[in-house]
Amino acid sequence: MSGKAPRLVLPEPDPELYARSSELAARAREPALTGNVTFGTAGWTDKTLVQGGLFYPKGTQSAEGRLRHYARHFALVEVDATYYSLLPPEVAAHWLEWTPPSFVFDVKAHPIVTGHPVDVERLPADLKEALGKTGRVYPERMPGEIRDEIERRFRALVEPLQAAGRLGCVMAQFPPWFTATRGNARKLEQLRERWPETPISIELRNKSWLLPERRARVFELLRAQRFAYVCVDEPDVEQGGVPPVTVVTNPALALLRFHGHNRAGWSKKGASVHERFDYLYGPEELAAWVAPVRALAEKAERVHAIFNNCVRNYAVLGAKGLSVLLEATPPAE
């Protein structure tokens, strides 16, 4: 009996849409960037990308080979593995070695930072033993010293990237139940107190933060804490969908994350990551983002556009396609 994991079977994309998206992406410069706007994907090792032979050359099996190949196409990546596991600093050292000096990493914050439940099985053995629990545990239900140690180890991975000038930001994605309350606003302030010198971006996933009567105060809070607001493009579902508001709250960096519009998968209870993000942006959808991206680029020193629809090569096509359209479309007079 083979020990290999079964190949994931996904619905086939629309052939005509896939062809047009591929043709557009093929025109992208390498790496994909336009002016002060840099494009990338959330991760570079998704199994549907690796297995499909859609991006990596045949025979590219090593971690080094994959990242070196990715870095020829993009100058930015969002590291999502840090959300699931505590990686040792040596991993960051390898990333720095395998990528050009201009390559930048946005690092997704560990759940201990954002209040998501922590998967105990993914913790190092000593922390599992000290915690004495199994399953998924919310940070507030952990002893303070263990919370602090988990965050310290996450920071230990971030520090080499920041010291090398290669950290774009720590991307803190807060959970849908993180609502707009005074207590949660204070948690954002405390995050800055714990990470005073680190560039941090904030993705809010509950609509309450962006109600018309409240959003100005929310953005002022983010400005006061030097946080970059993360503009998201996602299914606007009643259960937590957030509208795509573009705003610069830190003049050093503006961030966009494209999640796709797979409404059925997004709201499906127990849906897998691939079910939620199985969405291919077409050229027309991407073209609608040219003006908002350019507006951000006029107000921020740097703009990071991250595609998180990491199914097959959909994120690669989206990131490259938007870069082509931004470069090809002249600014409005």
Q: What is the pLDDT of residues 229-284, one digit of tens each?
A: 999 999 875 666 789 999 999 999 999 999 998 776 666 676 677 777 789 999 99
- The pLDDT assigned to 1 comes to 41
Tokens of 80: 């999502």
Question: What CA–CA distances, in Å, run from 36 to 27, 75, 256, 290?
Answer: 19, 12, 14, 14
- The pLDDT assigned to 2 comes to 46
- The pLDDT assigned to 241 comes to 77
Token pair 């629309």 in the structure block, residue: 14
Is 15-322 a CATH 3.40.50.720 domain?
A: no
Tokens of 210: 């962006």
Taken in order 259, 322, 34, 23, is the CA torsion positive or negative? Answer: positive
Tokens of 70: 């990715």
Task: Tell me how far apart the alpha carbons of residues 187 and 193 are, in angstroms, rounded to a whole number.
Answer: 10
Strand partners, 33: 38
Task: Tell me how far apart the alpha carbons of residues 321 and 326 are, in angstroms, rounded to a whole number.
Answer: 9
Domain ranges across the chain: 15-322
Per-residue pLDDT of the chain (333 residues; tens, 9 = 90+): 445 555 667 788 999 999 999 999 999 999 999 999 999 999 999 999 998 789 999 989 899 999 999 999 999 999 999 999 999 999 999 999 999 999 999 999 999 999 999 999 999 999 999 999 999 999 999 999 999 999 999 999 999 999 999 999 999 999 999 999 999 999 999 999 999 999 999 999 999 999 999 999 999 999 999 999 999 999 875 666 789 999 999 999 999 999 998 776 666 676 677 777 789 999 999 999 999 999 999 999 999 999 999 999 999 999 999 999 999 987 766
Coil vs helix vs strand at 240? coil
pTM to 2 decimals? 0.94
- The pLDDT assigned to 238 comes to 60
For 296-308, what is each residue's pLDDT tens digit? 999 999 999 999 9
- The pLDDT assigned to 10 comes to 78
Strand partners, 123: none
Asked if residue 140 lies in contact with residue 112, where contact means CB atoms within 8 angstroms, the answer is: no
- The pLDDT assigned to 114 comes to 98
